[in-house]
Chain A
Amino acid sequence: MKRSLGQRIWRWSILLVVTSYLALPIVAMLDFSTKVGRSKRGLYAWKAIFSQPELVGGIVTSLELAAIVIALLLFLVVPTVVWVHLKLPRLRRPLELICLLPLAIPGIVLVVGVSKIYMWLSIHWTESPLTLSAVYAMLILPYTYRSLSAALFAVDVHTLAEAARTLGASTSRTLFQIVIPTIKAGVMSALVISIALVLGEYTISSLLNYKTFQVEINLIGQNDGTIAVAVSLASLIFVLLLLLLMPTAKRHGKALLDVDAE
């Protein structure tokens, strides 16, 4: 059925408005980060990113934190959510509530709560910023739980797990070979959200006095705004690329609709 001209104009207008709304700040950032002086253009700010040892240190720290958080997500959060979904359905509500708590508690309150623990940690064990991974693993819970839960409800994983069990699969094989690949899209979106959150987190790391990516950007921004904006844009592009690389459910070749007649 052909759409009328009016309908097409309306649809394209909406698309244009939304795209402009999202793209304008990015274009403005690109414009600002490539400015040298008042009238010249150049890549000075972009080239300077890697000549700032503190910034590189902050990036490495944040990437290490992201890696730890991903590991915690894959080996702790995902199995827990799947296990509760499959075996302990009565705990679904309490788990959801616990997972949503970090969303309801402001960052500053969280910092006040955990600052004593971090003080004790820095005195008695380590001052490594990687200990922030514990707080970050908590911060990602509301988003990761939602995306995992939606993926689990979208497929009858219960039957799939039982089918695998009857074929001889152990619990761990059922989990890692059947259930997790089935909810891969949910796991991947949880991963991307987690990475974005860790790379973008500022409040907690700054208040706890750790030098992470965002803290370093802020510090650089106080001296040279163009470098700070270039780094911010680069991190944004990095997360966007991650989103684009996310595998979809129809990863395996073309989406055939060649259902034969019985």
Chain B
Amino acid sequence: MSSVAVQLNDIAKSFGPVKALAGLTLEIKEGELVALLGPSGCGKTTALRALAGLQDLDRGQILVGGKDITFQAANHRGMGMVFQAYSLFPHMSAQENVEYGLKLKAHKVSAEDRRKKSSELLELVGLSTHAGHYPHQMSGGQQQRVALARALAIEPKVLLLDEPLSALDAKVRIQLRDEIRRIQLEVGTTTLFVTHDQEEALGIADRVGVMRDGVLQQIAVPQELYDRPTSAFVAEFVGLTNPIRGTVSGSTVSILGSQIATLPGSVTSGEGTALVRPESIRVEADPSGSAKVVTSSFLGSVCRSIVDLADGTRITAQSASSQASVLRAGTSVRVTLDTPAVFVKSL
């Protein structure tokens, strides 16, 4: 992972009055998997389609391997793409689907090599026994795996994944997500993954970019994005947060009786709202405590409690699952913070 494989320089696209992309700049390194995360309409799919050549741009430049491909047709770009909707050619078997790109002029190989490669790829995605099956004979997860094999068959410069898991049920989604990551690491293809599911993005990507209104808000490795958001939008969009009022003084904020460092980008003085993660809040049963547990849910690995503070603020805290039996509704508790830094937004 060293040289830059993909560069999107200040790309912009409007659909009538709606600005889908408003000057997006993004770099993806060779072999890296970058996930673009954001709410519906933030421009992530438009960015991916622009990179694939399926969407014209109003402004900006796209470089792949240092070569300007901004005006190159989609069929000459050599991008492998997996779509949200099942996109296998219905009149072709799984093997024929995987081989299709290799029959075309751009990636043409001999029939023998084609067969060998398609068999290898179907093996890679765990569907070697389904080579002769047609799309209507396969489940959604199987179809998406074949679509992945088909996209990889042409040895794409960049693999583009447009919410490939969103049509699948939860269990298959997690399985396939892990498989996509395994295959991507094995093949080493530079990958752009678009999703609105933060767990998916954080779980699969080397770096995650959060988009809003056509621009990148922050791009960082998953843990940094989660622990050190640079804006209130990123803090609130990625993971859960509790808005708790506090007083900021310089680079610290006073909340729940603790002095906590503020993250860069926070307000620097006066009253503000600290955005605190549920797992950063420690709740301990204490008869003299001023807070009260409203409800507590055992979620297997963790226990999630809703707690009313003395000033009426309602927060969500997360603790070890063993606490579930202690933190019952109505229990008086003491609430403290266990985090090195928080983001504080203005009121």
Interface residues in chain A, defined as those with a beta carbon under 8 Å from any beta carbon in chain B: 155-156, 159-160, 162-170, 173, 178, 181-182, 184, 249-250, 252, 255-260, 262
Contacts and interface: CB of A to CB of B under 8 A. Distances in A.
A173 B138 CA distance: 26
A258 B133 CA distance: 10
Contact of B80 (A166, A249, A257): A166
Contact of B133 (A164, A170, A182, A256): A256
A contact face: mostly helix, strand, loop, or mixed: loop
B142 A160 contact: no
B77 interface: yes
Contacts of A255: 136
6 contacts: A156-B85, A166-B74, A167-B101, A167-B154, A170-B105, A262-B142
Interface string B61-85: 0000000000001111111110101
A160 B81 CA distance: 11
Interface of B: 52-54, 73-81, 83, 85, 87, 89-91, 93, 100-101, 104-107, 130, 133-134, 136-139, 141-142, 147, 150-151, 154, 160, 171-172, 175
A166 B90 contact: no
B142 A169 contact: no
A182 B136 CA distance: 13
A56 to B, nearest CB: 39
Nearest to A179: B89
B104 A167 contact: yes
Given A162-B74, A262-B139, 5 more contacts: A159-B83, A166-B81, A167-B107, A182-B90, A256-B137
Given A168-B78, A182-B89, A162 B83 contact: yes
Contacts of A184: 91
Contact of B81 (A163, A173, A181): A163
A255 B150 CA distance: 24
Contacts of B93: 252
Nearest to A251: B91
Contacts of B81: 162-163, 166
B87 A163 contact: yes
A168 B154 contact: yes
B90 A164 contact: no
A192 to B, nearest CB: 19
